[in-house]
Chain A
Amino acid sequence: SQQGEEDPQALSIQEGENATMNCSYKTSINNLQWYRQNSGRGLVHLILIRSNEREKHSGRLRVTLDTSKKSSSLLITASRAADTASYFCAIYKGGGSQGNLIFGKGTKLSVKP
């Protein structure tokens, strides 16, 4: 499979703790994106990290990318109950208009108050 594979499939933590989700892939990529999906809603884009970048931050979110290991991680610091959602990584291999995002199956995060 060319898609990203998230790990773990499910994660349960207490409010205030940090949550780390990982994504592994098998092909070379142009960029990798993380999305969040709340129950019953569509996906919402969180962060895009390009293949020549190693780390990006957005608020309480930190994404790292290791192209040598073909892996990425999403860290949510000081989690809140509102962070409860499924998180997906998506890889873009490149190839101009013929390339499309390939989504993983997601990590289901539960943050308990």
Chain B
Amino acid sequence: DAGITQSPRYKITETGRQVTLMCHQTWSHSYMFWYRQDLGHGLRLIYYSAAADITDKGEVPDGYVVSRSKTENFPLTLESATRSQTSVYFCASSNWTHQPQHFGDGTRLSIL
């Protein structure tokens, strides 16, 4: 089925560990985005990608790394997780930045 899928849906890890969140879309959309959603802050953009091998920082990129070797995949890595990175993470895709975005169902990440 066409869509955007995130994995895992839930993850618990410890501070200092590396964790990678996966995002896969089947629409061949050019743009992909990573957001975090926290109470009181709404959605904040972490990183985005305009195409394979093209990525750029969003509003809150510190502590995160992204890559995009294939159009359909856009993994987000926390290289050394901190408690402040406990959040719900959403991946989204669109054909262009001004067009509607399609969201995955999120990864709820808890860092102990």
Contact = CB atoms under 8 A, between A and B. Distances in A.
Interface residues of B, number: 24
B74 interface: no
Given A3-B42, A103-B42, A104-B42, A42 B105 contact: yes
B28 to A, nearest CB: 17
Interface string B38-56: 0011110100101000000
A103 B97 contact: no
Nearest to B58: A100
B43 to A, nearest CB: 4
Interface in B23-69: 33, 35, 40-43, 45, 48, 50, 58
Interface residues of A, number: 24
Nearest to A46: B100
| Most interface-central of A42, A105, A106 (chain B CB within 10 A) | A42
A27 to B, nearest CB: 14
A105 B42 contact: yes
B98 A31 contact: yes
B34 to A, nearest CB: 12
B90 A43 contact: yes
Chain A facing B: main interface SS: mixed
Interface string B81-95: 000000000101000
Nearest to A96: B97
A45 interface: yes
B101 interface: yes
A56 B30 CA distance: 27
Nearest to A45: B100
A42 B103 contact: yes
B3 to A, nearest CB: 10
A101 B101 contact: yes
B101 to A, nearest CB: 7
Contacts of B58: 100
Interface of B: 4, 33, 35, 40-43, 45, 48, 50, 58, 90, 92, 96-106
